[in-house]
Each structure stands twice: as C-alpha cells, then as structure tokens.
Amino acid sequence: MNTKVLRLTAVLATATVAVGALAGCSGGTNSSGDASGTYTWWDPYPQHAEGSDWAKRVQDCGTQAGVTIQRTAYDTTALTNQALLSAQDGTSPDTILIDNPAVSTLADTGMLSTTEELGLDTSKIEPNLLAAGELDGKTYGIPIGANTLALYYNADVLSAAGVDPSSITDWASLDAALAKVSATGKKGISFSGINTEEGSFQFLPWFWGAGADLTDLSSPQAVEALSLWKGWVDKGYAPNSVITNSQNTVWEEFLTGDFGFAENGTWQVNSAAKAPFKTGVIQLPAKDGGAAPAPTGGEFIVAPVQKDTARYETTRKIIDCMTTTEGFVQTADTFAYYIPPTEEGQKELLTEHSDLKTWVSAVQDAKGRTSDNLGTKYPLISEQLWTAVQNVLSGVQTPQQALDAAQTAAQAATSK
C-alpha cells in the first residue's frame, strides 16, 4: 500500500481537486489522538478558527459522544496530501472532512473504512450525491451537504434587453438571450475556462448537458458543448478573459453590472443578495431542454482505518451527530448554503430559506465528478478536458482536434 500512497500523493501534488471559494493554508499536528478521550478531526476550513460557530459544532459532537475533539484545519489540497501521508505513516486522524472528488483517491489506497464497516446509515442520502463517495460497489463516508453551479443573472440588464429569464430553457433560448443582451452594449455571460479543475468544473454542465460522457471526450456531443463556449467568445457574448478566469474572477466581473449572466455557485448567494443591482438565478439549461446536470462540490465526512478498532464506535457517534437533519441544516447555514443531502434536510432548509428553491433543484439534478465508478481516473480525465478547453478558447485547435487529442491522452493516462 505504501507505494500506492506515494504515487497518489505525487499525482495530487500537481492536480488540484478543489473548487469554489477556498481559504488559505493552516498548519497543525497529525497526531491520531489517544485512548483517554481525545479524537482527532481534520477539515478544510482554516477560515473557521477555534471559537467559531463551526469549531463549536464539531466540539459539541465530540462532547455528545463523550470525548474531546482535537481539530486541525488545512487548505483543501494540503488536506488530501496530508491524509495520504498520514496513512503511510500510520498516524491517520479518526475523522476527516474531505473534498468529494478526493474520497475515491483515499479509498483506492485502502486507508478508509466503509460506511458498512462503521455501521453508518446512508439510506436517506440522495443517490446522486452519495455516488461521489462510492468506489467498486462500496461507500466511503457521508456528504455533509453539496454545492453546485447555476446561472446568476442581472435582472436590470435582462429587463433592458427584453429578456425574460423564465424563457431560457435550452441552449437555443440562452443563445438568443445572449444576443439580445449583447445588442444593448452589455456582455452576455462570464464563466471560468481556466486551465485548472475550476475550468473542468464549469464546463461539465455543458458537456453533460449535451449528453457527453467523460469516458469519451471526443464524442459529437462533447464537440457540441465546446463549440458552444467557443461560439460565445467569437460572437463577443463572452469576454476573452474567460480563458484565465477563476470562479472568483467571474464573480468580480458579474458584480460590475456589465454582464447579463454569470456561471457560479451557491457560495455566492450572500454576495448576490448584496449586489448593487437586482439578481436572480436559474438552472443551467441542457442542450435540448430541461436542467443540465451540474457537478457537485462539497465535502464528505470519512473515517480512516485505525489499528485500534474499538475507536470506531465513538467515531460513528461523532459522524451520526454531524449528519442529523438539524446538523445538515446547520452546515448549510454555516457554509453559505450547502444544500443538505437528504430530502428531509432540503425541506427543512427551504422552510427557513425559500429563496434557495432553485439551488435545491440544481443539487437534486447534479452529478458527482467521480461518479460512474470513475474514481481515481477522474483527475486524469479532467486535466485533459481543461487542456482541450484552453486550446479551443485560445484558438490553437478546433473543438474536434482538441477533444481528439484529449481523449487519446486520457486513455493513455487511465490505462497505466
């Protein structure tokens, strides 16, 4: 197992799986705690310091389980790498909150306990959200919530252009709306086409919305999706800056008031409410109508394998505490509206925040990036996908050329 862990660590050191609004690094120990009542917990939220509502929640769940929790926060990529190294050294924490695309990476090394081994009930978790934690027929961990993408719009810009956002139901109606917005002198849409995981994350709704599959990057459907983005840039509906835009940059562009639409996530809900213009949100449309599946973001709570298996009973109590309906809603409120992963949690959230209905629907229609049992193949495929997007948006290759090259490279990378 050690050789495999080292190899995967090297891969993750060069491939970022994090998306959304990520915080800076934070150090900490990698002790596994002790048998006298201290349990270790790692999460990717260094922005939530000790004394914060989040830190208190974690500690409360330890208290309910009769133990003290020693919490350490890392940034997302550092956390994944540290988790792999701790497994190699035999110093894994009792519990980790990990970005969902990394679950299969950790599970593939054999370092994670399954939900069945821990006695965790996952029957109420929405299948499309749980899928990100599944590998080879086994489930590793529970999502604490999910975020995803949709289309924010500037209601003032759309009104001036004569565009009714409810009329946007497919690619053709969106294209027509962008043309009307552009005719008023405004920009139609901004998105992130950067050459990182954020670029793939933002492209996937269009890729999947065309009916494409990640095992066949050069399909006609994939070419249609990439041609759509390229067409928007060529027509001036989207700015040339999309090739280097991060998701944060996209949002900054949208807040200038010069854009009709911006592709972004639930983490911008609060910012949108404070914008100097009226905003709204619609789901990303699929090519031929209906909502496109957008990729899920968010973390899973997982339990690394421990030499002392007697620790699992308390670990299960801690995880159970964090994943009650009330706990899911508390997480949603703490993290800019993570959508709960259960129907009951989603209903409870909407009783408090009815304006999140579109986001709940978007999560219900969403899809995990590592779903379809892609597991550790996903980061390798994603890198080729964002490379293809870059080559097309920069005019280096046609969509077909870029995706043909991407498919060849992805097949070679995943067959090793």
Give dist(CA 221, CA 214) in Å, integer: 11
pLDDT value of position 333: 87
**Is a pLDDT exceeding 70 seen at residue 2?**
no
Nearest-10 Cα torsion for 114, 98, 319, 144: -110
pLDDT at position 92, please?
96
Sign (positive/negative) of CA torsion 282, 286, 289, 290?
Answer: negative
Would you place residue 25 in the very low, low, confident or very high pLDDT band (cuts 50, 70, 90)?
very low
Residues 6+ away with beta carbon under 8 Å from 294: 148, 149, 150, 204, 205, 208, 283, 284, 362, 365, 366, 367
What value does the mean pLDDT take over residues 105-114? 96
237-285 pLDDT, tens digit each: 999 999 999 999 999 999 999 999 999 999 999 999 999 999 999 999 9
Look at 281 and 337; give whichever has higher pLDDT. 281
* Per-residue model confidence (pLDDT) at position 20: 34
Task: Give the pLDDT of residue 27.
Answer: 32
Mean pLDDT value across residues 196-217: 97
Residue pLDDT, tens place only, 148-168 = 999 999 999 999 999 999 999
pTM of the model: 0.89
Q: Looking at residues 347-367, what average pLDDT do you find? A: 96
Backbone angles phi, psi at 148, to 5 degrees: -160, -170
> Average model confidence (pLDDT) for the chain?
91
- Predicted pLDDT of residue 36: 57
Reported confidence tier of residue 30, pLDDT bands at 50, 70, 90? very low
pLDDT above 70 as % of the chain: 91
Pick from 15-29, 52-66, 288-302, 356-370: least confident? 15-29
- Give the chain's domains with CATH numbers: 2-146+297-364 (3.40.190.10), 149-294+374-414 (3.40.190.10)
Cβ–Cβ < 8 Å for 149, 293? no
